[in-house]
Chains A and B, each alone.
Chain A
Amino acid sequence: MASSDTAGQQHPLGIYYKIWILLFVVSAASYAVDYFDVQGAMRWTLVIVFMLVKAGFIVAIFMHAFWERMALVLTILGPPGVLLLLIAFMAVEGDYTSGTRYDYMGHDPNVVALTPEEWHASLESHGKEETATEGEAAAEHEAVTEH
């Protein structure tokens, strides 16, 4: 690992082209996850792995963190690392909140959201396509989630 000196971050152009192509391929792969409708644990694993690969290469190569001195790298990566703790805490808290809501407030965990096609179809069947205001949209939403 070469040290960055006062001459700045000068590297061969080839590495930028390679990382650029790699970012395109990985982005296409994460879009493919949605396009081919991969679901469940596989979806989460693939999306998060592709996300971390992209983020890693952007920070390391495009932002030159790989070639910076350790004092600067730790300043950049250390404080955000603490945020992992915040994410963990809020996930635990969110899990508890949703649990109590389902257990004690009578919500049905099996309700399915409307798709835009279903919503537009329901508007047409009610003959009020052109007057879709927020109020009606909310009422429509209530009607669907109640039964």
Chain B
Amino acid sequence: MTSYFTPEEGDAFTEIFNIGAGKAALALSELLDAPIVFSVPFCVVLPLDEAVDYFRHRFGADICVVSQDFTGPFDGSALLMFHEASSLALAQAVLHSDEPVQAITELEREALTEIGNIILNACLSSFGDLLEREVATSLPRFLAGPSGAMLRGARGHEIVLVVKVDFSVEGREIEGYVTFVLNVDSVSTFRDAASRLLGRLH
């Protein structure tokens, strides 16, 4: 998890996100009316510049993002990032549509925004509940463009907590990332959340 967090705290983050992912998976399966297999293979913390390089290599071309700013115990932005193809597959699954499409329609944008809203809120709630504090979130925004511009345009601007999320819906494999772009000041609050979880385990 780099020098920002100890390996033990890193394990705690993965567990916190697993709790959030579990809630997100339940919500998504309700939305799609289909079983979902959802996993969080890893999470990692990177300085902003390294995160921009990381995603440039993984995504290459433009991506689709649902973004929400958050304030409260920690400040920053949460971004759900997908390849455009994964976004289309997900939107069509929600809308129960089999029509082949080349571009995202207005209704699909709305569907993706609502999916992002549900997934990001599920992840943020797992931190807020652990800290027993309210995390206030802005309205979700749907954006498309290069990943670097998305990360640099986020509200936080120093470190990026990257969480890989994989899920499969009715045989369709969908790969995405939840990222939290934070200021360094917020790191101590994240560390507090990790400590609370570790404290419960010890």
Asked if A pairs with B, the answer is no
Q: Which residues of B contact A (CB under 8 A)?
A: none
